[in-house]
């Protein structure tokens, strides 16, 4: 998690310096809610197809991660939201809010961070949009990766 965030900061700095990224844009890890929203792509289903079609997981991954883009993408064109590698999210891990909320934020503090999506070593039932995992932010593993989000930063007074 720490290295993934540092990667986002460095890529933001480099792309701004190269003139390919506006000064008010930045790369970051998605929140858990943003990750699930992108994963579901407007669907209420836990997956956009059978596990073998949409994920690298225990039964089909041959005990290794695979290059991105070989499985069927979701309705918004995102590949590998399931399986292959768990993906770090920005949030601390904690219970979901009791009340119905829009764009929920994770706890303000904690000891572990959220991972989503499953991995090449996970069983198929772990590779679903609602499945959550947690790890300490310093954890490194061939089962963990990340997905970038490109955000436009707006001053608080502009919404």
> Going by DSSP bridges, is the β-strand pair 82-83/55-56 parallel, antiparallel, or unpaired?
parallel
How many whole angstroms separate alpha carbon 66 and alpha carbon 16? 30
pLDDT digits (tens, 9 = 90+) for 71-106: 999 999 999 999 999 999 999 999 988 888 887 888
Which segments in the chain show pLDDT lower than 70?
154-159
Buried-exposed string 4-20: b where 16+ CB fall within 10 A, e elsewhere: bbeebeeebeebeeeee
pTM, to two decimals: 0.92
DSSP secondary structure, 69-118, as one string:
T-S---TTS---SEESSEEEEEEEP-PPPSS--SS----S--S-EEEES-
Look at strands 25-28 and 149-152 and give their pairing: antiparallel
pLDDT for residue 157: 38
pLDDT value for 100: 84
Residue 154, pLDDT score: 65
Give the whole-angstrom CA distance, residue 82 versus residue 44: 15
Q: What is the pLDDT, as a whole number, of residue 31?
A: 96
- How far apart, in whole angstroms, are the C-alpha atoms of residue 148 and residue 29? 5
Distance, CA of 109 to CA of 132 (rounded, Å)? 17
pLDDT for 158 equals: 47
């Amino acid at each position: 998690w720490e290295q993934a965030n540092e990667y986002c900061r460095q890529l933001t700095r480099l792309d701004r310096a190269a003139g390919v990224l506006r000064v008010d844009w930045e790369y970051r890890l998605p929140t858990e809610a943003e990750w699930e929203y992108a994963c579901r792509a407007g669907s209420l289903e836990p997956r956009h197809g059978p596990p073998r079609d949409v994920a690298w997981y225990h039964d089909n991954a041959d005990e290794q991660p695979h290059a991105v883009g070989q499985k069927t993408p979701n309705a918004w064109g995102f590949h590998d939201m399931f399986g292959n590698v768990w993906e770090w999210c920005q949030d601390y891990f904690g219970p979901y809010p009791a009340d119905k909320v829009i764009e929920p934020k994770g706890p303000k503090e904690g000891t572990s961070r959220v991972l989503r999506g499953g991995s090449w070593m996970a069983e198929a039932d772990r590779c679903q949009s609602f499945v959550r995992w947690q790890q300490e932010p310093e954890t490194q593993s061939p089962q963990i990766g990340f997905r970038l989000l490109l955000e436009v930063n707006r001053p608080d007074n502009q919404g």
